[in-house]
Amino acid sequence: MADEREPTVIVDDAHITYRVQQSGSASSPLAGFKRIVTGAKPTILREVHAIKGVSFVAYKGEAIGLIGTNGSGKSTLLRAIAGLLPVEKGAIFASGQPSLLGVNAALMNDLPGERNVVLGCLAMGMSPAEVKPMVKEIIDFSGINERGDFSSLPMRTYSSGMAARLRFAISAAKKHDVLLIDEALATGDAKFRKRSEQRVRDLRAEAGTVFLVSHSEQSIRDTCERSVWLESGLIRADGPTDEVMKEYEAFVKK
């Protein structure tokens, strides 16, 4: 019955628009003045309608894969569910605070890895007492110290893989009700990937609902029983992963 399936995320006809301020190529002071006088809409302010009315319900215990070609709005949708991007129209409802597990969490490049770990944990809302015992664990998990003491060096000295691993390790250190994963599994070398996949499985076991954005069909098939296929901001298909994947593959091959 309906009461057994408890919804955790409800997306109700959501629209998301990015406003992009461009430095116009043919813009001169005179053109700018003319624009103000005539009241014309600035040509350099462009709107990108990234999500054009998406609706679905996610239930407790589900793992949902989001698939689609580049620029189809997958990451944008995740950010909106996390409440990090405002919706233009419609609404997104969620139980608790969904957390985005991304590799994009910007940290401070001039600071050593250790201090970035503390900063990241505090930014996720942990208390200093909670953070203290976590630091070593996070650094060990990220494996940045495998080649000497890198955790005390500034992050700008890290290779891109090392930095990405550290970011993933930081954001995976917290438990979540609704977990949103954006390409995080594609980070690092094979050894680290194995470890991070295990961590995601653990997090999944504790989280109510998991969303996964990935271009790797294998990782979607492995983790998600349900998939949503987004194409230019609209849902093309929503259903069991096998069926949606089949349609998606047929579409991509065209």
Partner 1 sequence: MSQTAVADSDTGLPLRELARRHGLGVAGRLPTLPEYTGKLWAYRHFIAYYANAKVTSSLGKTRLGSLWQVLTPLINAAVYYVIFGKILDTSRGIPNFVAYLCTGVFIFGFTQSVVQSGIQAISGNLGLIRALHFPRAALPLALTMVEVRNMFASIIVLMAIVLGFGEPLTLEWLLVVPIFLLQSIFNAGLAMAAARLGSKVADFKQLVPFIMRFWLYGSAVLYPVTKFQSALQDHPIALKIVEANPLLVFIDLMRHALLEEVPLASTPWLLWAEAIGWTLFVGIGGYIYFWRGEKGYGRG
Give the interface with partner 1 as residue ranges (CB under 8 A).
Answer: 1-2, 5-13, 18-19, 21, 55-57, 79-87, 91-95, 97-100, 102, 104-106, 108-111, 115, 118-120, 122-125, 127-128, 154, 235-239, 243, 247
Burial of 230 (0-12, 13-18, 19+ CB in 10 A): buried
Which one, 194 or 240, has the nearer CB to partner 1? 240
Which one, 167 or 199, has the nearer CB to partner 1? 167
Rounded distance between C-alpha atoms, residue 75 and residue 81, angstroms? 10
Nearest distance from residue 162's CB to partner 1, in Å? 18
Nearest distance from residue 94's CB to partner 1, in Å? 5
SS3 248: helix
Nearest distance from residue 143's CB to partner 1, in Å? 22
Which one, 156 or 215, has the nearer CB to partner 1? 156
Nearest distance from residue 190's CB to partner 1, in Å? 26
- Residue 100: C-alpha distances to residues 11, 24, 96, 156, 248 (Å): 16, 34, 13, 24, 25
Which one, 209 or 214, has the nearer CB to partner 1? 209
Nearest distance from residue 62's CB to partner 1, in Å? 13
Tokens of 65: 């894969």
Q: Which residues of 140-151 are buried (b: 16+ CB within 10 A; e: fewer)?
A: ebbbbeeeeebb
Tokens of 234: 């609209």
Which one, 157 or 198, has the nearer CB to partner 1? 157
The interaxial angle of helices 113-123 and 128-142, nearest 10 deg, is: 130
Which one, 104 or 198, has the nearer CB to partner 1? 104
Nearest distance from residue 214's CB to partner 1, in Å? 18
Tokens of 231: 């194409």
SS3 175: coil
